[in-house]
Structure 1
Amino acid sequence: MSLRVAGRLVGAFFLLAFVCYGIGSALAGQFAGTALVVLNSVMVVAIGVLVFRALRRPQPGSAWTYLVARGVEAFLLTAGIVLLDRVGAGAADIAYQVAMLSLALGSLPLCLALRRRRWLPSWLAIWGLGGYLLLATGAAAELMGARVGLVLAIPGGLFEIVFGLLLLARGFAPSTVAHPGATLDGASSAEAGGDSRASRAALAAGLGLLLMAVLAGLANFGVVERMVSTDAAGTTTLLLSNGRALVLAVVALCAVVCLDVLVAWALRAFFADTHRTVPLLSAWCRTVYAVVFAVAITHLIAAAGLLRDDPATDRIGPGVYAQISDFQEIWSLGLILFGVHLLLIGWLAWRSPSAPTWLAMLVAIAGAGYLADSIGALVSAAYTIEVAAVTFGGEVILMGWLLVFAARLHSPHRSEVDGRDARQAQLGAA
């Protein structure tokens, strides 16, 4: 498919998605409305995939970020229509606002990438950046209780209409920017390209793991675990006084879902030369785990929605407690896939010439710990051992090692040595 055709399809989907979601949300509660919202989500995913295919080589970071952000948006919009029917308007609104936050933040690097490729005029790129920043601000304000999201969404909405019409008319215009060519020595160029790819993948995975550790720690241990009491009434009392903290935890955990997918495919790129199929299998294991985790988070959204709709402790206490319990159970089930992912990463690290053996062992042990806890809880309700609380250190060490690996490849000394070797190779060839 040519860039022009792909761009025109993206433009058409932008415009059709507006119509589908607008009519679908107006018909909420009816089959036709649900079908239109689901169709909107399908088109949102299609937009992400088409943009990803167009940008994955020249702008891989922006392409992956946009694809994952649109995927999370599509999931939450569909979840919102389900939550509206089963839980209430509060949960549906939270899902919608988090979806808009995902769309806005994921679209910022897209605007920059399209401007860099000269596929978007400067004035329109600036409009898009401003519109999406306002959309993110409005969504965040709505989540905190300030009703300003609709007004702040107008510039971004108008941008998407203009952007869609522009793409429908001309598609993605081919870039006129020349890309840096290869070095004089083909072998040196290939080696440098391999080092650069490994460095970028290691940096992306390491930073992603670092952000995940911070966000998941604050959200789960700082909010959810701290608020869960031993009984429904106690849990609801804690949540009623910290409702906004629960909403922030939902946002943080949704960000963790995005990072999980990005880290999965960054690790796949890092270990791509180690084996042909296992890196792909490990990436899909973590991606499916992220989907299961996203499903679990919808139960936290439901709990926050119940608190927003009717903050009467005697009426919603059991419902809130049940939703948080479901979140924990589904997440625990998904950690089986996460454990398998870590076992595969440990095996790849053991096979890789770049990673030390001790790192492979620690990562594999971390994966085994998650498997033991998740399967143990699944088999017996009396299982209370937390092996992963001890073995999770393998993930932390993997994160640190990836960041150090990326820093070493980017070090000035390494660049100087590589440059000297390349010059010597050129002189030898002459």
Structure 2
Amino acid sequence: MKSVQSEISIRIAAKVAGYALLFMTIAAVAATDLTIGPLIELENPTASINNVKSNQMLFRLGILSWIVVLICDILAAWGLYVYLSPVNKRISLLAAWLRIVYTAILGTSILNLNHVLELIGSEYHLTTIGYAHFESQTWLFLRSFDSSWSIGLIIFSLHIFFLGYLGLKSNYVPKILSIFLLIGSFGYILIHLFNLLSPQFQSLIQILGWIFIIPMLSEVALGLWLLVKGKNVTFKK
């Protein structure tokens, strides 16, 4: 009876993780490509700040999208931990904690976006510190989101690595999917280490992004697999 209950809980965890990964992907696309992303011009701080001032509701929707990503990451951490615990409970727990640490960094990064809203929405800041200082401080918070999130993704790459490792060791996660997770983890760590240590080489970072784009999307494939097949697998000890 206990074994049956355990399998039921693992299958529920598969659904939770699967839906969390898919909703997280949709919310991340909304944040980066539909709301905040189009407002930011990397080579033009003044235009970026004016875009945000003129489209504050869109910017707020972007922040909300990132909050959805954060919540989904927490749910995914729990679901994947439960689902992969039969393989190796300690490593599965380590993978979950790595994702939680990444999520905490993402949360602090999102606060930078909220600081932007506070600055833009307050006439007091503008009148007391002057426009030049106001603009530089606002731009600093906008850029701090990306740089802080990038550091968090280095931690996230380790989470993906252990997911791939656990998948390879399991007898129920497809091997090809696990291999792509492992390759994707190296893509994440290379791109974001370069972004931290050598941010001037943006062309190289973009090339690495294109090289690893499919493996780095393997977590989305994992979410789909969990919902279609993963929730129905037979667990063998």
TM range (shorter): 0.7 to 0.9
Residue of structure 1 in register with 2:178 after alignment: 360
CA contact (8 A) 1:271 1:279 kept: yes
Note the alpha carbon deviations across 1:140-190, whole angstroms, 9 max, x for none: xxxxxxxxxxxxxxxxxxxxxxxxxxxxxxxxxxxxxxxxxxxxxxxxx34
Q: In 1, distance between residues paired with 2:19 and 2:81?
A: 15
Deviations, residues 340-374 of structure 1 (Å, cap 9, x unaligned): 00000000000111111101011111211111111
What is the 5 A alignment of 1:64-79? none
Give the alignment's Cα RMSD to 1 decimal: 2.0
Give me the whole-angstrom Cα distance separating, in 2, the residues matched to 1:407 and 1:395: 16
2:224 aligned to which of 375, 393, 400: 400
Amino acid at match of 2:168: W
Q: Tell me if 1:281 matches 2:94.
A: yes
Q: In structure 2, what is the Cα distance between the partners aligned to 1:194 and 1:388?
A: 39
Matches of 1:205 and 1:196, distance apart in 2: 14
| Partner Cα distance (1:325, 1:378) in 2 | 13
Question: What does 1:1-400 align with in structure 2 at a 5 Å threshold?
Answer: 189-229=1-41, 230-310=43-123, 314-315=131-132, 316-384=134-202, 385-386=205-206, 387-388=208-209, 390=213, 391-400=215-224
Distance 1:238 1:276 in 2: 48
Distance 2:76 2:100 in 1: 9
Amino acid corresponding to residue 272 of structure 1 in structure 2: S
Q: The residue matched to 1:277 in structure 2 has which SS?
A: helix
| 1:294 partner letter | G
Which whole-Å CA distance do the structure 1 matches of 2:185 and 2:209 have between them?
Answer: 8
Counterpart in 2 of 1:32?
none
Name the SS of the counterpart of 1:382 in structure 2: coil
Equivalent pairs, count: 222
Percent of aligned pairs with the same residue? 24
Paired AA for residue 213 in structure 1: T
1: CA distance, partners of 2:230 / 2:171: 15
| 3-state DSSP of counterpart to 1:381 | coil
Query: Using the alignment, how far apart are the partners of 2:191 and 2:105 within structure 1?
Result: 17
Preserved CA contact (<8 Å) 1:202 1:405? no
Give the TM-score taking structure 1 as reference length.
0.49
Structure of larger gyration radius: 1
Q: Separation in 1 of the partners of 2:31 and 2:114?
A: 13
Please say if residues 102 and 156 of structure 2, whose CA atoms lie closer than 8 Å, have aligned partners that are also in contact. Answer: yes
Gaps of 5+ in 2: none
8 A Cα contact 2:12 2:231, kept in partner: no
Q: CA deviation at 1:319?
A: 2.0
Deviation at 1:388, TM superposition (A): 4.3
Q: Distance in 1 between matches of 2:175 and 2:32?
A: 32
Distance of 2:136 and 2:36 partners within structure 1: 16
